[in-house]
Amino acid sequence: MKIHFILLALIVLVTVGPATRLAAQEAGMISDQPYIVTTEFGLGYSRYLTDLEFDDLDKNGFGGMARVMWNPEHLLSIGLETGYQYLYSIDAKNVSTEFGTSDFSASMTSVPIHIAIAMRINDCLKLRGGTGIYLLSNHGDAFGDALESSLISIGMQVGLSYARPVSKDISLGAELKYSYITKLQDQHIAIQFLFIYDLIEY
């Protein structure tokens, strides 16, 4: 059900934007705009959403993102996004297993590599989406041995951002983002401070 909602949101994001701009152009509401390439950076807090239940599971994390967006039209933008997300950590003491008792720790992080899409709602508000892969890394320790593993998963994200210009080339704001990682069948929600810089205008 969640997958269907996200896919529907992405379809709307891609199809409604150009149609809305075309209608506005025909009505003479939008004048020619310069093309702008922006660099966008985010940093903030996230909450990992999972069905896993461990007393020592910490689902609070932090992360950041970096985007390069091409803004060829007034309403629709496209670009590339990457970043870093701390998903969860476990730090358990005296865990009983078939091999004996041991302290156990583990954590998971992700690095998204996504095609990013944004649709302008007004001068400050944007609806965002994206899809691509997540590079997932596990780190831990049990019975005195380090545990390391990695895997790749496809995934997607939808979000909403608000940013106001503070100078000719710089805008500041915040972004709320929901992400779904297919292989884990888990999600996370992040809220981040947003910094946008107009890198190139032509």
Q: What is the per-residue pLDDT across 90-146, written as a single tens digit (0 to 9) for each? A: 887 766 666 667 677 889 999 999 999 999 999 899 999 999 999 999 988 877 778
Task: Domains for the chain: give ranges and CATH numbers.
Answer: 2-201 (2.40.160.20)
Task: Confirm if 150 and 138 have CB atoms less than 8 A apart.
Answer: yes
Cα angle 57, 58, 64; round to 5: 140
Residue 195, judged by CB atoms within 10 A of its CB (0-12, 13-18, 19+), counts as middle
pLDDT above 80: residue 170: yes
CA 66 to each of CA 1, 30, 113: distance values in angstroms, whole numbers, following the listed order: 29, 29, 10
Query: Three-class SS of residue 13?
Result: helix
DSSP 55: T
Query: Three-class SS of residue 21?
Result: helix
Residue 73, CA atoms < 13 Å, CB-side half-sphere? 18
Residue 94: the pLDDT is: 67
C-alpha–C-alpha distance, residues 32 and 15, integer Å = 21
Match 């992700």 to its residue by tokens. Answer: 110
Confidence of residue 32 (pLDDT cuts 50, 70, 90): low
Cα 58 to its chain centre, rounded Å, is 20
Residue 190, judged by CB atoms within 10 A of its CB (0-12, 13-18, 19+), counts as buried
pLDDT above 90: residue 16: no
Residue-wise DSSP of 71-116: E-SSSEEEEEEEEEEEEEEEEEEEEEETTEEEEEEEEEEEEEEEEE
pLDDT tens string 43-87: 999 999 988 777 788 899 999 999 999 988 778 999 999 999 999
**Which one is predicted more confidently, 195 or 32?**
195
C-alpha–C-alpha distance, residues 42 and 44, integer Å = 7
pLDDT above 70: residue 3: no
pTM, entire model: 0.78
Please provide the size of the chain in residues: 202
What average pLDDT does this structure show over 170-177?
Answer: 97
pLDDT above 60: residue 29: no
**Which one is predicted more confidently, 37 or 31?**
37
pLDDT above 80: residue 171: yes
pLDDT above 90: residue 11: no
